[in-house]
Amino acid sequence: MNNDVIKIKLPSKPEYVSIARLTASVVSNSVGFDIEEIDDIKVAVGEACNNAVLHGSKEACDYEVEFMPLEDRIEIHVRDQGIGFDEEKYEEPDLDNLKGNGLGIYIIKSLMDEVEIIGSDQAGTVLKLIKYRE
């Protein structure tokens, strides 16, 4: 496997999230993930893109999704142009008393092996998602 990077730029509209999910499926399959792992990756990418649409990118802005298929893993970056995200202020949701906020990040973290959130007032937010092949 080489160092290919598949990069897509999507309008900040919910109807285009499925494009990122489909791309995640194809790229994950090329790395050799099984169907259950591919489904996990698709859900995590969908949640990350939903966050970019809802919280990150302004209506007129786009967001980017980069897929890096590697020999033993897939790395995915979802980059938006919002005001940033302070991970230190993130609280895991109370699953017995859901309020609606924070559930997407919780889902992403439960499905991926590594999740890093890099927020900046000037540069938006980047969610780095990594899933290793077993």
Confidence label for 97 from pLDDT (cuts 50, 70 and 90): low
Q: Left, alpha or beta for 102 (phi > 0: left; psi -120 to 50: alpha)?
A: left
Name beta bridge partners: 64. Answer: 9, 79
Do the beta carbons of residue 52 and residue 63 sit within 8 Å?
yes
**The pLDDT of residue 21 is above 80:** yes
Query: What is the reported pLDDT for 119?
Result: 80
User: pTM to 2 decimals?
Assistant: 0.85
Among the listed residues 10, 19, 95, the one whose alpha carbon sits nearest the alpha carbon of residue 56: 10
**The pLDDT of residue 100 is above 70:** no
- Domain 6-132 superfamily per CATH: Histidine kinase-like ATPase, C-terminal domain (3.30.565.10)
Provide CB contacts within 8 A for 15, sequence distance 6+: none
pLDDT in tens, 40-95: 999 999 999 999 998 876 666 899 999 999 999 999 999 998 765 555 554 555 55
